[in-house]
A and B are shown apart, each in its own frame.
Chain A
């Protein structure tokens, strides 16, 4: 069946647009639905072995990770794989990363993941809260 512009009525188009927008926003909304306080606790217990918020340690500083281009934190020696990466750390990318870093960036160095979806959402929500608290650049 051929569908061209005349097939869609204005009301239908608006509905489709809304559906598309809702779909695009879903990962963000999902990330934001995490519990920031639980995320902070999880970050302290699960991530701070290697990471700090404002200093590069075994892993890069993560206080400004949301919205940052992957592998580009200043003064941190990344793996070759992450140095080549070009994606932005969106909430959804962070959740994918925390699910299985190797699946997102093959050859990267982090052998750690969070197996529970709730934990991933909470940690990402915490990291998002930090970026939202930053003053606009």
Chain B
């Protein structure tokens, strides 16, 4: 556990770096929102697959709701060190930006965004009562982030609109960054081979 804490702390860097990281993350989120919500072409140019795309975006939104609540459970568990907690809150902020962007896009396409469940429902589904220490929380987050990476990569071929496919790829990139940081914090090795995601 002490190795994990050291590893996490060194990854996160000193407080000033964390603040800088948070500022950069906020900027990325704004870009992501603009990318998704500001594209009028999505509303105008989308073809007969629009309902299918909305359906896929709603699955993505479900993943983002789950991730936000998972980080909420982790943050509220009292199991995270201050530095790790800061990063968890930052990652949760990314997922909130993803959520907002997806909701805006679904509305723009004429769909109805899937609703968030209660925190207790997520806690039950994710077995939050089994989390005993910081490593457990990070492991849960890492598993969810990896699942999201593979889910986003996996739906790209099904999206009928190329702009949405690009958005899915960008969302996957964010989740990959989260997974990589969490994996490193857990002291786990990098993937041995290339092209390990989405396979």
Binding site for B on A (CB under 8 A): 45-46, 48-50, 52, 55-59, 79, 102, 107-113
Contact = CB atoms under 8 A, between A and B. Distances in A.
Contacts of B144: 49
22 contacts: A46-B154, A48-B143, A49-B149, A49-B150, A49-B154, A56-B125, A57-B125, A58-B59, A58-B62, A58-B63, A58-B66, A102-B52, A109-B55, A109-B56, A109-B58, A109-B59, A110-B59, A111-B56, A111-B59, A111-B158, A112-B151, A113-B154
The secondary-structure label for the interface of chain B is: helix
A100 B4 CA distance: 42
B150 A45 contact: yes
Interface in B10-64: 51-52, 55-56, 58-59, 62-63
Given A111-B158, A112-B151, A112-B158, A50 B127 contact: no
Contacts of A109: 55-56, 58-59
A58 B59 CA distance: 7
B127 A111 contact: no
Given A46-B154, A49-B63, A50-B63, A111 B147 contact: no
Contact of B147 (A50, A79, A107): A50
Closest 3 CB pairs of A and B: A49-B147, A49-B151, A111-B56
